[in-house]
Chain A
Amino acid sequence: MSALVSGAQQTRSTKTSPPSQPSGHRARRRALRGYLYILPALAFYVVFAILPALHTVYLSLFDWDGITLATWNGLANYREVITDPALRGAVAHALVLVMFFSWIPIVLGLVMAGLLARYRQRGMTLFRVLFFVPQIVPPVAVGITWRWVYGPEGVVNQALRLVGLDGITRTWLGDLNFALVAVGIVGTWALSGLCMVLFLSGVQKIDGSLYEAVRLDGAGPVREFLAVTLPALRGEIAVAMTVTTVAALASFDIVYVTTNGGPADRTTVPGLLVYRLAFTQGEVGLAAALATALAAMILVIVFAISRIARSDQ
């Protein structure tokens, strides 16, 4: 998740080098016992997460259908990830989703934080609990719910008919031009609440005297937001951006149940193709290369966000 944003800062509390013990032997035994506490967690993590991840990188160098003998393929799979239009398309779709999963929720959250920054609203707890609900519900259930909302007889078309816009009603998820946007809006819906709750909790930590100071300078609400609220929320924005960007790039559940990549591959995402290539098309090596590229992309972006967030401080 987002701990990488300031992962390095977290390490501050490392105790500086062990004090010189009367007996180095005892110190070593104590350290050994310490490692024993860590070992079970580490073993699980390495065996069922790290090794599989490395194994994926290894598989990405082979041509393998999952059944017969694999043959060495060098970097050819990666070349295909870059050149194949279907695979490139999936990556491009994921980048479009970043706009809907990440940027729009962050802007919405910031607008809310700006509007609510100066006055304590009553009933905020209730809103907070509600805004968080899309975050805890299984994404599959979210996807099915929206499938219905977007359906021919769903809420969206119902509302359009109600205001006399019968002409533009359609099966939104089946529309060549609107399907990707429709999937994106599901992400906006699911992640806006998270950004909002995150930013509102950040706003509450801002020293009220800062607002008084800029107000004495005659600043209006907009300048107040730019001068006080926005800079104070830098950490929260970095966190929100990390979480939501990863959610967009590694998206699978929502796409799988709403469009399954259709219509005409307009809404494919890398996760979906990894699944298809490996388990229905027998292209395990190519799937592994795509998964590796996806993980690398996520790592680079998370690292970049954390660098930017830190260099600002």
Chain B
Amino acid sequence: MSSRVERWSGYAILSVMAIAIVVPFLSIFMASMQPSGSAVTGLSWPDQWSLDNYREAWTVAGFAGLLKNSLFVGLGVVPAALVLATLAGYALGTMTLPRSNAIFLFFIAGLTIPVEVIVIPLYFDLRSVGLGNSLWGVILAEIALFMPFSVFWMRTHFISTPRELIDAALVDGASSFVVLRRVLLPLARPSLTTLAVLVFMWSWNQFLLVLILIQDPDSRTAPAGLGFFVGQHATDIPVLSAGTVIVILPILITYLLFQRSFISGFLQGALKG
């Protein structure tokens, strides 16, 4: 095979794949622009572009409130996960501690825990301590759910920092916490950014946990609200499509802004792990 043929066949296949990925999104986007309640077909150019469906989804269907709930959960989960994982990763990655290996493996073991296996007791237990039907319960559960990866990620980061940096500061009489704050944290910014966007995405996309822990549809996060909405408005394709686009957009924008962190974080996280 000549290299020319090979190169072009490569592009051809890449393009087919790209089209396969884009078409479903394009289809739902165009459907969301059609007049509400109209009969829509697959990929069709709207005769008349209209944002009415978005207006309806935003106010009548309550997506404004759902997005606010999602944001609330994300803003609760991300900082907590970052702080806790930084502290633990710092100790596990730089200090000489008996049994630190066993502790680390204990965290790692949690990477494969499916939501299904923790959610039933969480529902009953959170309810019994007054956190049933509450976003706070969701926040607590998600922090724990993402902890294995977060600790793994920060430990990997701190292991790779030059030992001399820490030793020099310790010799100067700095305490271990000062070393972390003054010396290591400024260097950890890229790793923390990546972790933040990954945790934010997982939190934003979480569905089953929210569906079970929160029964009131209006108090749910955006994807869980959308999952309920689809049952109510299965036939009004334009409004349903607008709701779907509204749920996709915030995470898509975050992804496009931080795509380097996202992809490298995913690949590194997967391969180093």
Q: Which residues of A are in contact with B by a Cβ distance under 8 Å?
A: 1-8, 10-11, 13-15, 18-19, 30-31, 33-35, 37-38, 40-42, 44-45, 47-53, 55-56, 59, 66, 111-112, 115-116, 118-119, 121, 127-141, 144-149, 151, 153-159, 189, 192-194, 196-198, 201, 221, 235-236, 239, 243, 246, 249-250, 252-253, 256-257, 270-271, 274-275, 278-279, 284, 287-288, 291-292, 294-295, 298-299, 302
**Could you tell me if A38 and B103 are in contact, using CB atoms closer than 8 angstroms?**
yes
- A119, A156, A198: the one within 8 Å of B267 (CB): A198
**Could you tell me if A34 and B230 are in contact, using CB atoms closer than 8 angstroms?**
no
**Could you tell me if B96 and A18 are in contact, using CB atoms closer than 8 angstroms?**
yes
**Could you tell me if A275 and B114 are in contact, using CB atoms closer than 8 angstroms?**
no
Q: Which of A47, A128, A257 has the most CB of B within 10 A?
A: A257
**Could you tell me if A52 and B21 are in contact, using CB atoms closer than 8 angstroms?**
no
If over half of B's interface residues share one DSSP class (helix, strand or loop), that class is named, otherwise mixed; here it is helix
Known: A144-B226, A197-B267. A52 touches B125 (CB 8 A): yes
Q: Is B223 an interface residue (CB 8 A)?
A: yes
**Could you tell me if B116 and A41 are in contact, using CB atoms closer than 8 angstroms?**
no
Q: Is B112 an interface residue (CB 8 A)?
A: yes
Chain A residues within 8 Å of B11, by CB: 121
For the complex of A and B, list the 6 residue pairs with the smallest distance between their C-beta atoms, beginning with the closest. A3-B273, A48-B144, A158-B42, A55-B121, A37-B91, A41-B88
- B6, B9, B22, B223: the one within 8 Å of A140 (CB): B223
- A4, A52, A193, A197: the one within 8 Å of B121 (CB): A52
- A15, A50, A139, A201: the one within 8 Å of B205 (CB): A139
Closest to A277 in B: B120
Chain A residues within 8 Å of B212, by CB: 275, 279
Closest to B97 in A: A34
Residue pairs across A and B with Cβ atoms less than 8 A apart, 5 shown, are A1-B273, A55-B125, A115-B9, A256-B211, A275-B116
**Could you tell me if B87 and A127 are in contact, using CB atoms closer than 8 angstroms?**
no
Q: How far is the CB of B256 from chain A (nearest CB, A)?
A: 8
Q: How far is the CA of A203 from the CA of B35 in the complex (A)?
A: 47
Chain B residues within 8 Å of A2, by CB: 111, 270, 273
Known: A44-B147, A138-B205, A139-B207. A144 touches B240 (CB 8 A): yes
Q: Which of B14, B247, B252 has the most CB of A within 10 A?
A: B14
Known: A4-B273, A48-B140. A56 touches B244 (CB 8 A): no
**Could you tell me if B39 and A153 are in contact, using CB atoms closer than 8 angstroms?**
yes
Q: Render B37-59 as a binary contact track against A, CB cut-off 8 A, 1 for contact.
A: 00111110000000000000000
Q: How far is the CA of A279 from the CA of B127 in the complex (A)?
A: 14
Q: Which of B97, B117, B119 has the most CB of A within 10 A?
A: B117
Q: Is B168 an interface residue (CB 8 A)?
A: no
- B1, B21, B115, B122: the one within 8 Å of A189 (CB): B21
Q: Is B75 an interface residue (CB 8 A)?
A: no
- B42, B109, B152, B247: the one within 8 Å of A155 (CB): B42
Q: How far is the CB of A75 from chain B (nearest CB, A)?
A: 18
Known: A44-B147, A141-B223. A155 touches B17 (CB 8 A): no
Within 8 A of A (CB), among B83-113: 84-85, 87-88, 90-92, 95-98, 100-101, 103-105, 107-113
**Could you tell me if A145 and B97 are in contact, using CB atoms closer than 8 angstroms?**
no
Q: Is B237 an interface residue (CB 8 A)?
A: yes
Chain B residues within 8 Å of A192, by CB: 17
Chain B residues within 8 Å of A239, by CB: 270-271, 273
Q: Is B28 an interface residue (CB 8 A)?
A: yes
Closest to A201 in B: B267
Q: How far is the CA of A291 from the CA of B95 in the complex (A)?
A: 37
If over half of A's interface residues share one DSSP class (helix, strand or loop), that class is named, otherwise mixed; here it is helix
- B116, B240, B251, B269: the one within 8 Å of A138 (CB): B251
Q: Which of B109, B147, B273 has the most CB of A within 10 A?
A: B273
Q: Render B1-36 as a binary contact track against A, CB cut-off 8 A, 1 for contact.
A: 101001101110110011011111101100100000
**Could you tell me if A136 and B201 are in contact, using CB atoms closer than 8 angstroms?**
yes
**Could you tell me if B271 and A252 are in contact, using CB atoms closer than 8 angstroms?**
no
- B90, B120, B237: the one within 8 Å of A37 (CB): B90
Q: How far is the CA of A303 from the CA of B201 in the complex (A)?
A: 27
Q: How far is the CA of A294 from the CA of B115 in the complex (A)?
A: 11
Chain B residues within 8 Å of A147, by CB: 230
Q: How far is the CA of A119 from the CA of B230 in the complex (A)?
A: 45
Q: Is B195 an interface residue (CB 8 A)?
A: no
Chain A residues within 8 Å of B251, by CB: 136-138
Chain A residues within 8 Å of B140, by CB: 44, 48
Known: A2-B111, A299-B112. A145 touches B24 (CB 8 A): yes
Chain B residues within 8 Å of A243, by CB: 270
Chain A residues within 8 Å of B100, by CB: 14, 34
Chain B residues within 8 Å of A250, by CB: 114-116
